Amino acid sequence: MIRIRDISLPPEHDANQLVYEASRLLRISASRIRRLQLVRRSVDARKKPDVRIIYTVDVAVDGSENKVLKSSGCKKAALAPASFYKPPKREYHSENRPVVVGFGPAGMFAGLLLAMAGLKPIILERGEDAATRHQKVQHFFETGELDTTSNVQFGEGGAGTFSDGKLNTGVNNPRIGWILEQFVKAGAREDILYDAKPHVGTDVLLTVVQNLRQRIISLGGEVRFCTQVTGVLTDNGAVSGLRTNRGEITCDQVIFAIGHSARDTFRMLNDLGVPMEPKPFAMGVRIEQKQSVIDKAQYGTNSLPLPPADYKLVRHLENETVYTFCMCPGGYVVAATSEEAQIVTNGMSNADRDGENANAALLVSLNPADFPYDGVLGGMLWQEEIEKMAFRHTGSYCAPVQKVGDFLAGVVSTGPGEVKPTYRPGVYWTDLHQVLPEKITRALAEALPQLEQNLTGFASPDAVLTAPETRSSSPVRIIRGEDRQSALKGLYPAGEGAGYAGGIMSAAIDGMMAAEALLDTLK
């Protein structure tokens, strides 16, 4: 096929215009284009309000592609690269079935690859299946009654299930296209295959993760819910089994894809002597604005048929970096704690992103030297301290919130302005300087006016800050070698919780590569 880059069309275009523009660039009749496949679609708003939709497409043509390319002289066109990922074949055998701990993106795609290889993996998930988990999460949002085993952090699909389901990543990896295809086969919309910033949406992800589980089971795998690993059995420096709340499992190959909130598991591994280290991470708040304000700022207009606008902002200060993360257009701020008497925030949006507000994590970079606690788990202990302090401050799971204008003025907020907070089960108006460490509030106060200069309306006086956002990534890294194994042989740390990923896609890739490393030992 022929790949054509940078096809620019107005937002009101239809599919036929894309075909005709491709034929014009190739200098052939549109009737000679037998098939057109979208490779990438993005929005270019650099010359607002003249917003354009930019496409990269692959086309199959009648006749020789080389001749068409030569006669067209089009500098935007070239032969499409033949780059694709080949999953393992069902030709592997092992005396003991491999075990995957955790059924988030890393564990799910590690389990899928092992099942495709014929190894019938056992997957252990401390939380519940997605349908039951959804009911428990909604109950918490409505009543403030938390289930510590099934919540926004734990359960089928991991923390990513209750998020925007963003699948964009800064990683360039041949596995990305294959992962996107698996999501589509499991029920995600096909536009994730070519959107520059693909997202699935929480409402759709709840079905997708269940379909991926059924596929693993159909290939001989097994998923055991409400099964928490409480210990690792060893023999001569290697894994010999796992201790769980439902009994022991004999195994010599285990992928640990535990997620960034499995604090009891981090403690267990540390007590076992598994090499770990503290790693840089970030904490801060969730910030909410009107989505219509963000659309106007990014596009210069609200009258065009364009998707809800997003943003990604960063400001480098003298000692810290303040940046936005996990931006959710048309989304909601959610209660994301997994432990009693602690408050944690996160963001989510559904597939249509049709909520009134935009929200994003607004984070301050932190290094191990900043942690008030020493040792491998120093960052984790700091997280816990802040989350407990927030709960004590409000006296419930209602999150502490403040308007940006009041935060910058150092006065207590008493209620909302134009932006209504979306956090459930409720909010507590206060002064966030009383909740968050001075290092974080100082950096946020310095960065907010500067970020407003980058994006009008981002830090408007009525924008809402909800605290604390503490679990953007793992504060711990489980050290592994080039073979992706820990010093404890047979233990493969993987994904975001192990400190090697930062989102759904990168976690899925890391889980796959852990499974591939395990398969290499069986060749």
Q: Shortest CA distance to 252 belongs to which of 234, 240, 235?
A: 240
pLDDT digits (tens, 9 = 90+) for 475-489: 999 999 999 999 999
Q: What is the rounded average pLDDT for all residues in the chain?
A: 96
pLDDT digits (tens, 9 = 90+) for 310-342: 999 999 999 999 999 999 999 999 999 999 999
pLDDT for residue 83: 73
pLDDT digits (tens, 9 = 90+) for 20-41: 999 999 999 999 999 999 999 9
Residues in the chain: 523
Q: What is the pTM of this model?
A: 0.94
Going by pLDDT thresholds of 50, 70 and 90, the confidence category of residue 169 is confident
pLDDT digits (tens, 9 = 90+) for 64-99: 999 999 999 999 999 998 778 999 999 999 999 999
Going by pLDDT thresholds of 50, 70 and 90, the confidence category of residue 166 is confident
- Give the span between the Cα atoms of 167 and 192, in whole angstroms: 8
List the beta bridge partners of residue 334.
346, 424
pLDDT digits (tens, 9 = 90+) for 246-302: 999 999 999 999 999 999 999 999 999 999 999 999 999 999 999 999 999 999 988
Strand extents, DSSP E, 118-173: 122-124
Please state whether beta strands 77-79 and 33-44 pair in parallel, antiparallel, or not at all (unpaired).
unpaired
Confirm if 234 and 201 have CB atoms less than 8 A apart: no
Please state whether beta strands 321-328 and 254-256 pair in parallel, antiparallel, or not at all (unpaired).
unpaired
Confirm if 127 and 225 have CB atoms less than 8 A apart: yes
Burial of 63 (0-12, 13-18, 19+ CB in 10 A): exposed
pLDDT digits (tens, 9 = 90+) for 96-129: 999 999 999 999 999 999 999 999 999 999 999 9
Contacts of 264 (CB under 8 A, 6+ apart): none
Q: Shortest CA distance to 501 belongs to which of 229, 258, 223?
A: 258
How would DSSP label each residue in 290-349?
EHHHHHHHHHS-S-S--PPP----EEE-SS-EEEEEEEETT-EEEE---STT---EEEE-
